[in-house]
Amino acid sequence: MNPTEDHQVKVENVNVEDHVIKDAEVKVHPLSRRNLLMNIGIALNAVVGLAITAPVIGYIVGPALRKKGFYKSWVTLGPATRYPTGQTRLATFVEPYRAPDDGATDNQACWVRRLSDTTFQVFAINCAHLGCPVRWFPQSGLFMCPCHGGVYYQDGSRAAGPPERGLFEYQWKLVNGELQINAGQLPTLSNQASLRTGKDGKGSKSCLG
């Protein structure tokens, strides 16, 4: 092979390599953008899926955790002597399930009505309509909601306004002179905390208003 042919071969090799590099660049850049957009789409779908499934998983797993004592349900409202017979008073308690950074949101309120030495009613402070805190007016013997005008009698039953039922009630019991309530779950129609209790706090009369 003469020098001229050798020079031509080298030039051809360089040209071939240049074409290969250029072709690779043309193919890689669009593919990289496509992969980036695909990864972003997958990540967004994963976030949305997690947001949808987390409450469902909590709803399914929650009862099992409660059965294992995950929620320390019964909390004290203090000595029973704090609540005079024939009166309704505001009481506070600390949420049984709480995180270290919850702060003041752990503090919950309820209304305690004492009927006799051994009989109580403990009402959730939330209106049965949309959950606004109700106030007790001893002059009229009524609970009233400031948001939408819901009114309840002193026994928690519905008197007037948009609520379709009476106030929800907590289960209660007396332990060594202290009044305790089952505060592991908010009282609703779907759980036992909405049941009206008897003298031992274990009655089953429904509080439907």
- 161, with CB counted inside 10 A (0-12, 13-18, 19+), is middle
Q: Identify whether residues 116 and 189 lie together within a single domain.
A: yes
101's CB contacts (< 8 A; 6+ apart) are none
State the pLDDT at residue 88.
94
Q: Identify whether residues 66 and 27 lie together within a single domain.
A: yes
Mean predicted confidence (pLDDT) in 23-50: 73
Residue 8 has pLDDT above 60, yes or no: no
State the pLDDT at residue 35.
81
The enclosing domain of 173 has a CATH number of 2.102.10.10
State the pLDDT at residue 49.
84
Least confident interval from 68-82, 125-139, 173-187 = 68-82
Residue 23 has pLDDT above 70, yes or no: no
Query: Over the chain, what is the mean pLDDT?
Result: 74
Q: Identify whether residues 118 and 30 lie together within a single domain.
A: no
State the pLDDT at residue 176.
92
Q: Identify whether residues 92 and 191 lie together within a single domain.
A: yes
Q: Identify whether residues 29 and 60 lie together within a single domain.
A: yes
Residue 195 has pLDDT above 50, yes or no: no
Residue 192 pLDDT class (50, 70, 90 cuts): very low
Residue 42 has pLDDT above 80, yes or no: yes
State the pLDDT at residue 206.
36
Nearest to 154 by CA among 170, 132, 136: 136
Task: Among 22, 48, 70, give the residue marking a domain's end.
Answer: 70
State the pLDDT at residue 178.
92
Mean predicted confidence (pLDDT) in 135-163: 92
Task: Among 70, 104, 126, give the residue marking a domain's end.
Answer: 70
158 within 8 A of 152, measured Cβ to Cβ: yes
Q: Identify whether residues 99 and 169 lie together within a single domain.
A: yes
Q: Identify whether residues 53 and 82 lie together within a single domain.
A: no
State the pLDDT at residue 139.
92
Q: Identify whether residues 60 and 99 lie together within a single domain.
A: no
- Give the chain's length: 209
Least confident interval from 57-71, 91-105, 159-173, 193-207 = 193-207
Q: How far is CA 22 from the centre of its chain?
A: 57
Residue 49 has which token pair?
């899926």
Q: Identify whether residues 108 and 158 lie together within a single domain.
A: yes
Q: Identify whether residues 107 and 32 lie together within a single domain.
A: no
User: Cα–Cα distance between 193 and 48 in angstroms, integer?
Assistant: 33
State the pLDDT at residue 30.
52
Residue 189 has pLDDT above 90, yes or no: no
Number of domains within the chain: 2
Residue 200 has pLDDT above 50, yes or no: no
Give the H or E element holding residue 76: strand 74-79
Q: Identify whether residues 8 and 78 lie together within a single domain.
A: no
Task: Among 47, 70, 93, give the residue marking a domain's end.
Answer: 70
Q: Which domain holds residue 119?
A: 74-206
Q: Identify whether residues 33 and 126 lie together within a single domain.
A: no
Q: Give 74-132 pLDDT, tens digit per residue.
A: 888 999 999 999 999 999 887 776 666 666 666 788 999 999 999 999 999 989 888 89
